[in-house]
Amino acid sequence: MIRVLIADDQTLLRGTLRLLLDSQSDMTVVGEAADGNQAVELAAGQSPDVVLMDIRMPELDGLEATRRIASAHPAVRVLVLTTFDLDEYVYGALRAGASGFLLKDTPPGDLIAAVRVVAAGEALLAPGITKRLIAEFARTPELGRRPTAKPLAITDREREVLELVGRGLSNQEIAVHLVLSPATVKTHIGRLLAKLDARDRAQLVIVAYESGLIVPR
């Protein structure tokens, strides 16, 4: 059973999301938060698998709430849900530790699927989102200001996989591009996650660009 916490300052939207998620046989809503502080408290007390997090909330915004939850509870996945499709929010949310980013006009079926994807430990990072991240890194070079203290033991093949992940390709697309099996690609990504200390695919892209391991083109 996927345990979901809903954090949004709109009572009606929280109720709608609760009805939608509770109607699924594999999901249960364990709490509702009206602001970021409540979200942080409930994440600690209810141990959700996934937090549906709004960006703009009173008391404490969704970005800072995401940062605190991701730092204190690495196993909790945050799926940002917002009306604002702006680069600064995409970058800020993923940099804070979010595992996915969805707009509030996302169809119900896609939102349910996204919760399952994130709960399974994968990142919901659509190619369009990845392209905007790459564009942001290319436009603002100072974002890449976290050089690694020493070169990491990444193989040439792992670097090829990392570059394709950074371009927004799926495992299947990477497999076709490099003439590998999807299972082999998944193994390479698993090793990259461990070597770069990244929690999921979204964080892998962030760390790769910020460390300078891959460069925007």
pTM of the model: 0.75
Q: Which residues are within 8 A (CB) of 7 and not within 5 positions of it... i.e. 6 or more apart?
A: 32, 33, 34, 35, 36, 38, 39, 42, 51, 52, 53, 54, 57, 62, 65
Which residues of the chain are in CATH 1.10.10.10 domains?
145-210
Q: Give the model's confidence band at 206: pLDDT under 50 very low, under 70 low, under 90 confident, else very high.
A: confident
Distance CA 39, CA 46 (A): 10
At 56 the pLDDT is 87
At 181 the pLDDT is 94
In contact, 101 and 93? CB cutoff 8 Å: yes
Distance CA 127, CA 58 (A): 31
Range scoring the smallest mean pLDDT among 2-16, 51-65, 80-94, 103-117: 80-94
Is the pLDDT higher at 114 or at 152? Answer: 114
For residue 77, report the phi and psi dihedrals to the nearest 5 degrees.
-100, 135
Q: What is the pLDDT of residues 35-51, one digit of tens each?
A: 999 999 999 999 999 99
Which residues of the chain are in CATH 3.40.50.2300 domains?
2-124
Fold of 2-124: Rossmann fold (3.40.50)
Give the closest residue to 80 by CA, choosing from 42, 45, 31, 129: 129
Q: Give the model's confidence band at 18: pLDDT under 50 very low, under 70 low, under 90 confident, else very high.
A: very high
Is the pLDDT higher at 169 or at 192? Answer: 192
Give the closest residue to 76 by CA, choosing from 47, 105, 34, 96: 47
Mean pLDDT, rounded, for 77-81: 91
Mean pLDDT, rounded, for 162-167: 82
Q: What is the pLDDT of residues 92-114, one digit of tens each?
A: 787 788 888 888 888 899 899 98
Please identify which residue in the block is written with the tokens 């996650």: 193
Domain 145-210 carries which CATH code? Answer: 1.10.10.10
At 142 the pLDDT is 54
Treating both helix axes as pointing N-terminal to C-terminal, what angle do 201-210 and 87-96 enclose, rounded to 10 degrees?
Answer: 100
Distance CA 135, CA 203 (A): 17
